[in-house]
Amino acid sequence: MFKTNIPVKTPKPDMNPMVDMAFLLVSFFMLTTTFKAAEPILIEKPQSQSELKMPERGIATITVGEEGRIFFTVDGKYTRKKLLKMMGDQHQIDFSGTEQDEFALLPSVGLPVEQLPGFLALNPQQRKGVDQPGIPCDTARNELSDWVVLTRVANPGVRIAVNADKDTPYAYIDRIIRTLQHNKIYRFNLITELESTE
């Protein structure tokens, strides 16, 4: 009789369109991603219903930890280079070109300025191990003030944002607000997270 000779092959789907799509998405995400800058310390942001989104550029952030340590950062490599140079001039420290380049890549600074050259000489892995004491900000010595003022010189359009942990005692926030007020910065932003509505 007849022998039916149907091949038991699974049809092979054409994967090209899928691959095309996958690569298209990969390139899209690669180009649009801006990586989260590593936060120097863990900050649990307070929640609010504010609808103002944080801009991606032109923002200087003052981070305050629960124990009051202050970190400072501003976006933009050129701004940062310029900032370090001016900071060096102010404090009679001569930062070399390599140190400026290193600083441009530094996520944030939380050291008195005279400790910066030593810190910049370390490699990124070693830097992680350094427990930064925070930027001095009191009446005797207020380096935060210099950082803020010089950042505004380096990039006049910069906006100042305060990123504080929700459990920070107000006394630490007060120091920062006062510093800003003394530098004639009356309008600034507080970073919060969108309140989750249950």
Partner 1 sequence: MSMEEQKEKADWPREKPKRDKRGQKGSIEVDMNPMVDLAFLLLTFFMLATTFSQPQLMELVMPVLPEEEDVEQEQPVKETQALSVVLGEDDQVYWYVGITQPEVHQFAWDEQRVRQVLEEAQNNMSELVLLIKPMEASRYENLIDLLDEINAVGIERYAIAEVTKEDRALLPAD
Give the count of residues interacting with partner 1 (CB under 8 A): 53
- The residue type found at 96 is S
Exactly one of 140, 171, 197, 198 binds partner 1 (CB under 8 A); which one?
A: 171
- Whether the CA torsion 86, 87, 92, 96 is positive or negative: it is negative
Confirm if 81 and 150 have CB atoms less than 8 A apart.
Answer: no
CA distances from 175 to 76, 81, 125, 142 (A): 26, 27, 32, 10
What separation in angstroms does the CA of 125 have from each of 105, 117, 120, 129?
13, 16, 12, 7
Q: Which one of 52, 72, 78, 139 is in contact with partner 1 (CB under 8 A)?
A: 52
Pair of tokens at residue 193: 């997270």
The strand pair at 70-74 and 59-64 is best described as antiparallel
Q: Which of 100, 132, 168, 179 binds partner 1 (CB under 8 A)?
A: 168
Residue choice 4, 5, 10, 32 for contact with partner 1 (CB under 8 A): 32
For partner 1, the closer CB: 1 or 31 = 31
> What are the distances in angstroms from CA 152 to CA 59, 125, 141, 160, 190?
10, 31, 20, 9, 18
- Residue with Cβ nearer partner 1 (59 or 116): 59
Closest distance to partner 1 from the beta carbon of 134 (Å): 16
Q: Are 110 and 133 in contact (CB under 8 A)?
A: yes
Q: Does 78 bind partner 1 (CB under 8 A)?
A: no
* CA 195/CA 24 separation, integer angstroms: 34
Q: Does 47 bind partner 1 (CB under 8 A)?
A: yes
**Quick one: 111 or 160, whose CB is closer to partner 1?**
160
Residue 54 sits in the site that holds partner 1 (CB under 8 A): yes
Q: Which of 6, 7, 36, 38 binds partner 1 (CB under 8 A)?
A: 36
The single residue among 2, 29, 97, 139 that binds partner 1, judged by CB under 8 A, is 29
Q: Which residues contact 138 (CB under 8 A, 6 or more apart)?
A: 175
Q: Is 22 a binder of partner 1 (CB under 8 A)?
A: yes
Residues from 99 through 118 that contact partner 1 (CB under 8 A): none
Binding interface with partner 1 (CB under 8 A): 14-15, 18-19, 22-23, 25-26, 29-30, 32-36, 45-54, 56, 161, 163-171, 173-174, 177, 180-182, 184, 186-195
